Amino acid sequence: MENRVFFDKTFEHTTFQKIDLLDSEFEQCQFINCSFPDRDLSNVRFIECSFDQIDLSNSRLFKTSIQDCLFDTCKLMGLSFDQCEMFGFNFKAQNGIFDHSSFYKVRLPGFQAQNCSFKNVDFTEAILKEAHFKGSDFTNAIFERTELEKADLLNTSNLRLDPEVNLIKQAKLDLEALPGLLTKFSLNIKQ
C-alpha cells in the first residue's frame, strides 16, 4: 500500500494484518468482509466510509479519525473510542458488537446504534444526547454522569443506570426498563 490516500475504493475480503496503514486516509471507501486484527490504526482517517461485516476488535485507535461512517454487522470489541480524534467524530452502527469497549467522555450527540451489543462497555461521562439505541443490549454497561437526554432507549435489554447521577430527562424507555433504573434501591419489583 504505497498510496496513503484512498478515495471511493472498495476493499473486499482483505485482511489488513501486514499492511502498513500508518497515516493513511480513506474517503468514501467501502470495506466488506475485511479484518483488522489487533491493528494499530493510529492517525488513520476514515471519512464517509461504510464497513460491512468487518472485524476491528482490539485495534488501537489513537488519534484515529472516524467521520460520518456506517458500521453494519461489525465486531468492534475492546476498542477505546475515547482515544479517537474527536474533531468531526461521528458514526452510525447497526447489528454491531461493541463489547468491552470504552466511550469514556466521548461526545456523540445523536449517535445511532440499533440492535447492537454493548456488554461491559464504559459510557462514563459520555455525551449521548438524543442518541438512538433501539434494540441494544447493555449487560453490565457502566453509566456514570452520562448525558442521555432525549435518548431513545426503547426495546433495550439489561439497561441499568442511576437517574440520580445520569442525565436522562425526556429519554424514551420501556416500562420493562424500570427495574434497571431502581437497581441501587435493591427493590423486589413484581408484575
Q: How far apart are CA 32 and CA 53, in angstroms?
A: 6
Superfamily (CATH) of domain 98-181: E3 ubiquitin-protein ligase SopA (2.160.20.80)
What is the structure's pLDDT at 16?
Answer: 79
> What is the DSSP annotation of 78-136?
T-BGGGS--TT-EEEEES-B-TT-B-TT-B-TT-EEES-B-TT-B-TT-B-TT-B-TT-
Within 10 A of 5 (CB to CB), how many other CB atoms are there?
11
What is the structure's pLDDT at 163?
Answer: 86
What's the burial of 159, exposed, middle or buried (CB within 10 Å: 0-12/13-18/19+)?
Answer: buried
What is the structure's pLDDT at 177?
Answer: 58
- pLDDT tens for the chain, 191 residues long, are 455 899 999 999 988 766 668 789 999 999 999 988 788 999 999 999 999 999 999 999 999 999 999 999 999 999 999 999 999 999 999 999 999 999 999 999 999 999 999 999 999 999 999 999 999 999 999 999 999 999 999 999 999 888 889 999 998 887 665 555 555 555 455 56
CB-CB contact of 124 with 142 (8 Å): yes
What is the structure's pLDDT at 172?
Answer: 87
**0.85 exceeded by pTM:** yes
What is the structure's pLDDT at 15?
Answer: 83
Q: Where are the domains of the chain?
A: 8-14+26-78, 98-181
What is the structure's pLDDT at 1?
Answer: 44
What's the burial of 84, exposed, middle or buried (CB within 10 Å: 0-12/13-18/19+)?
Answer: buried
Phi-psi region at 120: left, alpha or beta (left = phi > 0; alpha = psi -120 to 50): left
CB-CB contact of 14 with 39 (8 Å): no
